[in-house]
Amino acid sequence: VPAPNDLGAYWMPFTANRQFKAAPRLLVSADGMYYSSHDGRQVLDGTAGLWCVNAGHNRAPIVEAIRRAAGELDYAPSFQMGHPGAFRAASALAALAPVGLDHVFFTGSGSESVDTALKIALAYHRVRGEGQRTRLIGRERGYHGVGFGGISVGGIATNRRTFGPLLAGVDHLPHTYDRTRQGFSRGQPEWGADLADALDRIVTLHDPSTIAAVIVEPMAGSTGVLVPPRGYLERLRATCDRHGILLIFDEVITGFGRLGAPFAADRLGVVPDLMTVAKGLTNGAVPMGAVLVSGAVHDAFMQGPPGQIELFHGYTYSAHPLACAAAEATLALYREEGLFQRAADLEPVLEEAVHALRGRRHVIDVRNLGLVAGIELEPRPNAPGARAYEAFVRCYEAGVLIRVTGDIIALSPPLIVSEAEIGRIVDTLRDVLELVT
């Protein structure tokens, strides 16, 4: 393990680099619910890595599948050819997906999935003779990865301001969070369905036949666990249907059991036209994402504009053999262990535990859905994010990994978590909040 001062060459996105060098947190191995750190400590994973290790760490069937694949077929192009593992992984994914979303386009990450989905939406309209449909609609506080498409439709102001002007013709819906009306909601808040009417206003402002697609996370994850108000997604769906607009769900976080069902579309009862996934698709073990679409959308995209014969869209690492092997093994493991149902069963346990933090020091809101919870802290005056960051450091030192985004703490343990482990994660956080300044 390098000494703290030798860590300078390692690029650490978005972390407080100086603090990290003073007290490095290096993860050297993992097993089940635990990471092992460089200084020999066990760290209980309250975040499933970055919301991706849904079946727990280093699961033998997944590790074995990757090993086997690596010894068999290191690489195969996805252009004009393929490999059997890609068909097996695609079939398993399509079988799990909501009815109708049975065509799979593999990518290498969530960001690639988002850019791919946006391009599919544009191509779909163009091929059908509706090339004027170019406008894309995202949402404030939406996170869709770091590609130019994703930050254009995303609602993270700093990304947009830093890298602009970005894609032209993008509008944003308002975000769905209002603490004064939704504070301490359990599950879906009752207030806020009519925020979806903003889509009608955008449609009125522009000719609806200029709008290609709306993209939202069904539950916004990394911007602070913003649970969709009851009825909100249904209203977005209805407006899209009325005007021939494609609805895209970014299920990179919500997919693969996080909300106690295969996808948020299942849990929340609204099926999109396109769905982006990544993370839990391979349990985090090999980078991979995918876009799921209907046969009609697929055919339009693959056909391309009239007369096109050149390279249209695809990645060198689309359907990489190791990723396909990992995905196939991961989806089988989810099924065999009934992990999505397990997440549903544990939802009330996590809900009770986190809502008991109400009234604790610094806590101004608690919200939850499935096996995800957000705990929002009152920001320290003149130092936004500092309080939650201190909670993160203290929790880590106490052997529990949490995730922070701004002053919001997100809990999203692997779906194999036990009731006792949920208790330990939340108890540690409760104790730490007493110490946080």
Judged by the rule CB under 6 A, the positions of this chain that interact with ligand PMP are: 109-111, 114, 143-145, 217, 221-222, 250, 252-253, 278
Distance, in Å, from the CA atom of 281 to the CA atom of 54, rounded to the nearest integer, reads: 9
Residue closest to ligand PMP (Cβ): 110
We find the least distance from the C-beta atom of residue 349 to ligand PMP, in angstroms, to be 24
Distance, in Å, from the CA atom of 105 to the CA atom of 120, rounded to the nearest integer, reads: 10
We find the least distance from the C-beta atom of residue 223 to ligand PMP, in angstroms, to be 9
CB-nearer residue toward ligand PMP: 318 or 428: 318
CB-nearer residue toward ligand PMP: 117 or 432: 117
Sign of CA dihedral 423, 36, 332, 50: positive
Distance, in Å, from the CA atom of 212 to the CA atom of 147, rounded to the nearest integer, reads: 19
We find the least distance from the C-beta atom of residue 122 to ligand PMP, in angstroms, to be 18
CB-nearer residue toward ligand PMP: 286 or 433: 286
CB-nearer residue toward ligand PMP: 98 or 208: 98
We find the least distance from the C-beta atom of residue 249 to ligand PMP, in angstroms, to be 9
| C-alpha count within 13 angstroms, C-beta hemisphere, residue 115 | 16
CB-nearer residue toward ligand PMP: 92 or 288: 288
- All residues at 6 or more sequence positions from 427 whose CB lies less than 8 Å from its CB, including other chains: none
CB-nearer residue toward ligand PMP: 264 or 353: 264
Distance, in Å, from the CA atom of 300 to the CA atom of 209, rounded to the nearest integer, reads: 18
CB-nearer residue toward ligand PMP: 142 or 260: 142
Q: Measured between alpha carbons, how far is residue 60 from residues 89, 258, 314, 326 in Å? A: 18, 21, 31, 11
Assign 64 to helix, strand or coil: helix
Unique residue bearing structure tokens 């290498």: 108
We find the least distance from the C-beta atom of residue 130 to ligand PMP, in angstroms, to be 26
We find the least distance from the C-beta atom of residue 182 to ligand PMP, in angstroms, to be 20
Distance, in Å, from the CA atom of 75 to the CA atom of 52, rounded to the nearest integer, reads: 24
Residue 241 one-letter amino acid:
D
We find the least distance from the C-beta atom of residue 278 to ligand PMP, in angstroms, to be 5
CA-nearest of 228, 145, 221, 139 to 403 is 221
Structure tokens at 269: 């009862």
We find the least distance from the C-beta atom of residue 290 to ligand PMP, in angstroms, to be 11
We find the least distance from the C-beta atom of residue 145 to ligand PMP, in angstroms, to be 3
CB-nearer residue toward ligand PMP: 138 or 208: 138
Contact status, residue 137 vs residue 154, Cβ threshold 8 Å: no
We find the least distance from the C-beta atom of residue 34 to ligand PMP, in angstroms, to be 22
CB-nearer residue toward ligand PMP: 37 or 412: 412
Angle between helices 197-205 and 232-243 (to 10 degrees): 30
Distance, in Å, from the CA atom of 171 to the CA atom of 199, rounded to the nearest integer, reads: 10
Question: DSSP states of 168-223 as a string?
Answer: SSEEEEPPS--HHHHTT--SS-SS-GGGGHHHHHHHHHS-GGGEEEEEE-SSB-TT
CB-nearer residue toward ligand PMP: 65 or 410: 410
Distance, in Å, from the CA atom of 274 to the CA atom of 265, rounded to the nearest integer, reads: 11
